[in-house]
């Protein structure tokens, strides 16, 4: 865990740093936002920013978004300044820590940020064989292509390979090629010089340089524009890159791992992916089986997610009933491990009694059959929020925004107005939900009131 502290924190910087260090964090401190941005642009990176609440948090968050630097921001300030805390959260801070620092609170924030999202949980022989192969090839310098359906855990395996490699003590950098527009992906990967284009206010180190000495994961590489693939091929072959606007090549030492949920040989045949790049990446291919083909992994994974979300939500951990286990192992899991994780998160929140029963297991048979990702099959609502069974809240001719509005309001009715449970079921933040409800109310829609005490 690398923490970058911005500001003096009212003389409490030493105490806050010591607590973080005792929790295993590496701490660096700068006096203001400008040098903090320079550190992030230089490729040094950070897992968490802690900023003095008196500084311009909104400006920091906007700069991070503009330059596509993804790192959570936590504000710190004197405990009595409630208005400053509210301003910080509205400006984009994820959390507010009052000062003087409380060891348990700082520990909780660090735990939340560093919570293990990449645990490798498995039992099925098919997964055992795949993991054994990953461990065998991890110490090599070979590039690896990891394939499998969406949600199978391709990034988890990539991180496992890095952890077992000779580069384990160096950086692991992941880039989601599908999430970044084509015109921005080049600058994200290779960086740029100041003035290279409008908005290039300072030199920015790209992911190749940031990962030098370590491992670079190119997630969903099949989504990369074929014109950029040529520049990527050169970087892999020659071990050097050109920053946008740069005059001289920059040497890099990077092991490349790539993932795809598409049939890359078919993409090559269709002219969407370069054949030479495919062979350069596909030195070793690890194919991750879908969850339906490794059913012995389902219960260990489910129990792992139950523990994780019970702790996160401060709810007593409950065992799965035998009937609930049977439901989980007989389901097809079109969304694979990602769908199982969401299902168990809901089950933890909705379960009553001393164990998790079938009425807390909400399954959707075919979520991919609707382009808007809305449920397409009959949904039975579990206790403690019983509603009548109904079909998906859409008809042909409705806009996506209308479908979204109906689903959000219906989910809120389903939870008897409980905003927190509704947000968890929908998979959105409570802040996003409240913003949506405010918009719907202003448009004249009837919004279920929250229960007393929420």
In this structure, are residues 164 and 135 in contact, taking their beta carbons and an 8 Å threshold? yes
Euclidean distance between CA atoms 203 and 68, whole angstroms: 14
**Domain match, 275 and 299 both:** no
The confidence score (pLDDT) of residue 385 equals: 38
In a domain, 380, yes or no: no
pLDDT tens, position by position, 228-258? 999 999 999 999 999 999 889 999 999 999 9
**Domain match, 261 and 341 both:** no
Encoded tokens for 169? 């003590």
Boundary of a domain, candidates 114, 144, 167: 114
CATH number at residue 85: 3.40.50.2300
The confidence score (pLDDT) of residue 378 equals: 33
Length of the chain in terms of residues written:
454
Boundary of a domain, candidates 262, 289, 316: 289
In DSSP notation, 27-59 reads EEEESSHHHHHHHHHTT---SEEEEETTS-HHH
pLDDT of 74 > 70? The answer is yes
The pTM (predicted TM-score) of the whole model is 0.64
In a domain, 375, yes or no: no
pLDDT tens, position by position, 329-383? 999 999 899 899 989 998 998 888 899 999 899 886 443 333 333 333 333 333 3
* Percent share of the chain, pLDDT over 70: 85
Structural domains in the chain (count): 4
CATH number at residue 151: 3.40.50.300
Residue that has been written with the tokens 């035998």 in this structure: 322
**Domain match, 159 and 228 both:** yes
Boundary of a domain, candidates 91, 114, 137: 114
**Domain match, 28 and 94 both:** yes
**Domain match, 108 and 211 both:** no
Burial of 198 (0-12, 13-18, 19+ CB in 10 A): exposed
In this structure, are residues 145 and 264 in contact, taking their beta carbons and an 8 Å threshold? yes
Q: How many CB atoms lie within 10 A of CB 432?
A: 13
pLDDT tens, position by position, 136-173? 999 999 999 999 999 999 999 999 999 899 998 888 99
Domain region containing 323: 291-369
CA nearest to 318, candidates 294, 289, 349: 349
pLDDT tens, position by position, 250-289? 999 999 999 999 999 999 999 999 999 999 999 999 999 9
In a domain, 267, yes or no: yes
pLDDT tens, position by position, 13-25? 667 777 777 766 7
CATH number at residue 396: 1.10.10.60
pLDDT of 394 > 60? The answer is no
In a domain, 379, yes or no: no
**Domain match, 50 and 71 both:** yes
**Domain match, 84 and 233 both:** no
In a domain, 383, yes or no: no
The alpha-carbon radius of gyration of the chain (Å, integer) is: 24
**Domain match, 95 and 199 both:** no
**Domain match, 68 and 207 both:** no
**Domain match, 188 and 256 both:** yes
**Domain match, 92 and 25 both:** yes
**Domain match, 9 and 85 both:** yes
Q: Which positions ≥6 away from 386 have C-beta within 8 Å?
A: none
In a domain, 343, yes or no: yes
CATH number at residue 330: 1.10.8.60
149-178 in b/e form (b: 16+ CB < 10 A) is bebbbbbbbbbbbbebbebeebbbbbbbbe
């Amino acid at each position: 865990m690398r923490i970058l502290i911005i500001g003096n924190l009212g003389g409490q910087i030493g105490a806050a740093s010591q607590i973080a260090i005792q929790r295993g964090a590496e701490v660096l401190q700068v006096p203001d936002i400008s040098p903090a941005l320079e550190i992030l642009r230089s490729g040094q990176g950070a897992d968490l920013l802690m900023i003095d609440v008196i500084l311009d948090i909104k400006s920091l968050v906007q700069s991070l978004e503009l330059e596509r630097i993804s790192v959570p921001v936590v504000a710190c300030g004197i405990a009595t300044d409630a208005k400053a805390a509210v301003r910080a959260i509205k400006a984009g801070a994820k959390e507010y820590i009052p000062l003087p620092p409380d060891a348990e609170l700082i520990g909780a924030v660090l735990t939340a940020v560093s919570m293990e999202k990449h645990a490798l949980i498995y039992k099925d022989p098919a997964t055992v064989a795949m993991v054994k192969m990953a461990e065998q090839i991890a110490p090599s310098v070979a590039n690896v292509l990891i394939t499998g359906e969406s949600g199978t855990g391709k990034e988890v395996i990539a991180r496992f390979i890095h952890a077992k490699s000779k580069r384990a003590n160096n950086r692991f950098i992941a880039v989601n090629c599908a999430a970044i527009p084509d015109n921005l992906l080049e600058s994200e990967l290779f960086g740029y010089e100041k003035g290279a284009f409008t908005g290039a206010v300072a030199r920015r180190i790209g992911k190749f340089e940031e990962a030098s000495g370590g491992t670079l994961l190119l997630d969903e590489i099949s989504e990369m524009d074929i014109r950029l693939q040529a520049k990527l091929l050169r970087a892999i072959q020659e071990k050097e890159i050109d920053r946008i606007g740069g005059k001289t090549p920059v040497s890099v030492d990077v092991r490349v791992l790539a993932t795809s949920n598409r049939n890359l040989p078919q993409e090559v045949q269709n002219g969407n992916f370069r054949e030479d790049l495919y062979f350069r990446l596909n030195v070793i291919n690890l194919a991750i089986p879908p969850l339906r083909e490794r059913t012995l992994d389902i219960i260990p994974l489910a129990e792992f997610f139950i523990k994780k979300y019970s702790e996160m939500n401060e709810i007593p951990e409950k065992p799965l009933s035998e009937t609930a286990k049977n439901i989980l192992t007989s389901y097809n899991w079109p969304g694979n491990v990602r769908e199982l994780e969401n299902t168990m998160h809901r089950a933890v929140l909705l379960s009553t009694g001393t164990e998790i029963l079938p009425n807390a297991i909400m399954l959707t048979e075919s979520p991919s059959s609707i382009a808007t990702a809305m449920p397409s099959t009959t949904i039975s609502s579990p206790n403690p929020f019983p509603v009548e069974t109904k079909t998906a809240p859409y008809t042909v001719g409705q806009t996506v925004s209308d479908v979204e509005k109906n689903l959000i309001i219906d989910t809120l009715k389903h939870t008897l107005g409980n905003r927190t449970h509704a947000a968890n079921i929908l998979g959105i933040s409570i802040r996003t939900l409240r913003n949506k409800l405010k918009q719907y109310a202003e448009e004249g829609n009837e919004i279920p009131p929250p229960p007393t005490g929420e």
